[in-house]
Amino acid sequence: MSTITIEEKTFELKNVKNLYPAVLVKTGYDETETTEMSLAWVDIESKGRVEITGYGIFLVISDEEKHSFVYDTREELDHAIGKLASQLK
């Protein structure tokens, strides 16, 4: 059975519905409310128009179960993605 581990938490790949990196940005609705945006959109289109609050790896198991692994910097996210990618080879 294949598994992946992110930040000391292990998941069986057969149970993972979706796995993706994203940027957390403020919505503008409330000071604390954020939403996920794609890394590509932020890199290419945002042009500084959004306030980034963090970077994350998001793992969806079911409609009721989602795990978020949030990092302060893009470099920390890139490092975590590298560790994850090495497990998927």
Q: Residue 46 — very low, low, confident or very high, per pLDDT cuts 50/70/90? A: confident
Q: Which amino acid is at 11?
A: F
Q: Residue 18 — very low, low, confident or very high, per pLDDT cuts 50/70/90? A: very high
Residue 72: its pLDDT value, please?
97
> Which of 11, 26, 7 has its CA nearest to residue 61?
11
Kindly report the average pLDDT of the chain as a whole number: 93
- Whether the per-residue pLDDT at 6 is higher than 70: the answer is yes
Return the structure tokens found at 18. Answer: 């979706």
Q: ∠ CA 5-69-71 to the nearest 5 degrees?
A: 120
For residue 59, list its beta bridge partners: 19, 67
